[in-house]
Chain A
């Protein structure tokens, strides 16, 4: 027999103490959603089942106790840290869930500048870690737009990526080792070694699990020397996305690794760079690292771009100002909220990836369909911001005016149809439907199509590690 809300709360208080169990209704409402439903939330409309409590954990042992309790009593658990999720991963799909908040586990355990790695608890804000490292002359190399707000546990759980990924890689290439707690209370520590061939890489069971398999409590990431004095910024305008993708491809296949390699379509460029883009696409690079490498990388990029006469170089100071204003902090979020409420204009993003052959096909198909099929659009565009030797990502940006519908209808009238178009066109072309935001709850319907015959491996993980299905129901896995 399932426990009542009161019984759940009572037992959580017994495990964690009264101060760490929050049952205030306003907090529960806010904790039932993430940025995916922010239009509803901004209007004070909450349609998701309310959790029983938000609990603050302070140690791995406490996490283990809470998970064991939930596991035994079949209570859904939603793990979270910095709360910057954008894809519904933090929504409480089940009534009386426990939202386990790791943000108070925020100690930097060790900055090891000899072995070039940093170990932190899950609630360590990336900005805090990065600031401490930079003061010592080092960097994580990880710089997502959410850096001022996001915390290490969530970044690893969602397979996050940063703006300098073309050089440093995504979080999966940064994580050395970690600690995670599984639903039965088992604490698994994956040790910090440079590489090993001791079976499959088990880090990848944890990285990107989105709280659907386990709760990440500690993370060790690689660090790098920070040499901003060598940064070289380059910017160009050009006519066609196809040309831009080809330039990115040539840079990558010829072995160059700028930290930033971004291509904006005219709509997205107009949003960010209207002061110089003049209706054209914009291509941006940053070369960094040791001086000789940065210079060689920049020189090679210039040579590659010069082969495409439609490209016009712009003053690098345009790019520098953009670079200095990249990230979102709490004040930007607050301003966005006021603006959405006032204008009823809201923007979201959907990120996918594909190989070089397919990426432009997907871009053109999605933009054309969204413009044609979805009403009240004010901006449909996108950019590529993370490139690899065999392909790149596309970050679709879609803004619309919410017209003639209730706040709770916004998703079905606009956001989900847009997401559906992007997912359908990506699957049709053979791309990946999620590049770095995670699956959340709204791309789950396509997760088996995404993986095809390999879905067997993914669903077996769920059965093995979360056999009672208590971890973040509806996220990644169906049902």
Chain B
């Protein structure tokens, strides 16, 4: 049986939750936000994508080859090594040296170029990341490859030898697709998909394995979809009022009169 090749794309991002509201240092001239002192992590949507791929490989009736791919700098290498320990067959980093925050076209082109040189039947990636927040890369990659793309994916299973069962979230529920690869799956909110943790023994077993580093230039014309022209901090603080009252009933009454009554009447 021929192995199914799955490419899982992920991005290493700063954990922006670690930045306190007054900790956002914005350089308006350089158009950057200082995040280099914040701990890094795998973008949560991509973390789900990686775990879904591992589950797919475990349950698939036939052989599956998993490739993890990221476009970024060497800070991603420790995560790629970890993915080797989790039984990914290949761990590849495309090194561009470019500012990747607002270049979904360029990243999608780089992914498509990689796939054209390294055939895969299924690409799984998170729908968006906190940095850039474009939510465009999976769609653009699918377009460049001429493949269909299913968005907001929460589950991927093997239905038959060449048929996938893909579950995706919609506005009012879930959609189940029977999809024939090739396909791009853009992973959305998966309720339970924390990435598993490799053991020390598994990490030791791949200590000598090297991350594949591939130089890749982002095509200049591909990065020009939009141009960053300014950065500003949005003040999301909201006014608050402490409701005073002698009893919980009194406070609940005040809450109802002040805030809920009018809104409920409009329902």
Cβ B23 vs Cβ A321 within 8 A = yes
One of A325, A342, A376, A379 near B193 (C-beta < 8 A): A342
Q: Is the CB of A320 within 8 A of B37?
A: yes
Residue in B37, B78, B194 whose beta carbon sits within 8 Å of that of A315 in the complex: B37
Closest to B194 in A: A342
Q: Establish whether residues B23 and A275, one from each chain, have CB atoms under 8 Å apart when the complex forms.
A: no
Instruction: Give the residues from 354 to 386 in chain A that come closer than 8 angstroms, CB to CB, to chain B.
Output: 371, 376-380
- CB-CB nearest in chain B for A370: B200
Cβ-defined contact, B194 with A338, below 8 A: yes
Question: A321–B196 contact, CB under 8 A?
Answer: no
Given that A321-B19, A339-B194, A343-B194 are known contacts, is A274 also in contact with B40, CB under 8 Å in the complex? yes
Residues on B with beta carbons closer than 8 Å to the beta carbon of A343:
194-197
How far apart sit A252 and B20, CA to CA, in the bound complex (Å)? 32
Count B-side interface residues using an 8 Å CB cutoff. 21
Contact B18 A274 (CB under 8 A): no
- List B contacts of A320 (CB < 8 A): 37
Check if A399 sits within 8 Å of B197, measured CB to CB.
yes
Judge whether A273 is part of the interface by a CB distance below 8 angstroms.
Answer: yes
Chain A residues whose C-beta falls within 8 Å of the C-beta of B199 in the assembled complex? 376-378, 400-401
Kindly state whether residue B75 has any CB partner on chain A within 8 Å.
yes
Most chain A CB inside 10 Å of its own CB: which residue of B19, B40, B196, B199: B199
A-B pairs with CB below 8 Å: how many?
56
| Most chain A beta-carbon neighbours within 10 Å: one of B19, B194, B201 | B194
Cα of A401 to Cα of B199 in the assembled complex, Å: 7
In the complex, per-residue mask of B71-95: 1 if CB is within 8 Å of any chain A CB, else 0: 0000100100000000000000000
A414 CB to closest chain B CB (Å) equals: 12
Docked complex Cα distance between A401 and B193 (Å): 16
In chain B, positions 13-27 with a C-beta closer than 8 Å to chain A are 18-20, 23
A399 to B197, CA, bound (A): 10
Interface of B (DSSP majority class): loop
CB of B8 to closest CB in A, whole Å: 18
Report whether A371 and B200 are in contact in the complex, using a CB–CB cutoff of 8 Å.
Answer: yes
Tell me the residues in window 218-241 of chain A with beta carbons closer than 8 Å to chain B beta carbons: none
Contact A275 B38 (CB under 8 A): yes
Residue pair A274, B37 in contact (C-beta under 8 Å)? no
A342 is contacted by which of B23, B36, B38, B192 (Cβ under 8 Å)? B192
Contact B200 A380 (CB under 8 A): yes
A274 to B79, CA, bound (A): 10
Can you name the residue of chain A whose Cβ is closest to the Cβ of B196?
A: A343
Q: Which of A324, A341, A345 contacts B23 (CB 8 A)?
A: A324
Please tell me if the beta carbons of B197 and A275 are within 8 angstroms of each other in the complex.
no
Scan residues 179-232 of chain B and give those whose CB is less than 8 A from a CB of chain A.
Answer: 192-201
Q: Which of B18, B36, B197 contacts A378 (CB 8 A)?
A: B197
Asked if B39 and A273 make an inter-chain contact with CB atoms under 8 angstroms apart, the answer reads yes
Let me know if A401 and B197 touch, CB within 8 A: yes
Nearest B-chain residue to A376, judged by Cβ: B199
Contact of A324 with B18 at beta-carbon distance under 8 Å, contacts A380-B200, A401-B199 already known: yes
Q: How far is the CA of A377 from the CA of B78 in the complex (A)?
A: 18
Instruction: Please measure, in the bound complex, the distance between the C-alpha atom of A341 and the C-alpha atom of B193, giving whole angstroms.
Output: 11
Q: How far is the CA of A278 from the CA of B88 in the complex (A)?
A: 23
Contact B197–A274 (Cβ < 8 Å): no
Q: Are B39 and A275 in contact (CB under 8 A)?
A: yes
Whole-angstrom distance between the alpha carbons of A318 and B19 in the complex?
11
A322 vs B19: C-alpha distance in the bound complex, in angstroms?
A: 10
Chain A residues whose CB sits within 8 angstroms of the CB of B39 once the complex forms: 272-275, 321-322
A189 at the interface (CB under 8 A from B): no
Q: A376 contacts which chain B residues (CB < 8 A)?
A: 199
B198 CB to closest chain A CB, in angstroms?
Answer: 7
A317's partner among B37, B78, B198 (CB-CB below 8 A) is: B37
For A267, the closest partner residue in chain B by CB is: B200
Assuming the A-B contacts A274-B78, A275-B40, A378-B198, are A321 and B18 also in contact, with contact meaning beta carbons closer than 8 angstroms in the complex? yes
Of all chain B residues, the one with the shortest Cβ separation from A347 is: B197
**Among the interface residues A338, A342, A377, A379, which one has the most CB atoms of the partner chain B within 10 A?**
A342
Interface string of A302-320 (1 = CB under 8 A from B): 0000000000000101101
Give A376 to B199 CA distance when docked, in angstroms: 6
Closest B residue to A325 by CB, please name it. B18
Cβ contact within 8 Å between B197 and A321 = no
Q: Which residues in A have some Cβ–Cβ distance to B below 8 Å?
A: 270, 272-275, 315, 317-318, 320-322, 324-325, 338-339, 341-343, 345, 371, 376-380, 399-401
**Which residues of B pack against A, CB within 8 Å?**
18-20, 23, 36-40, 75, 78, 192-201
Besides A342-B193, A400-B199, A401-B199, 8 other A-B contacts (C-beta < 8 A): A275-B37, A321-B18, A321-B23, A321-B39, A342-B194, A343-B197, A378-B200, A379-B200
**7 nearest A-B pairs in the assembled complex, by CB-CB distance:** A317-B37, A345-B197, A342-B194, A378-B197, A318-B37, A275-B40, A342-B192
Q: List 7 A-B contacts (CB under 8 A).
A: A270-B78, A275-B40, A320-B37, A321-B23, A324-B23, A377-B199, A378-B200
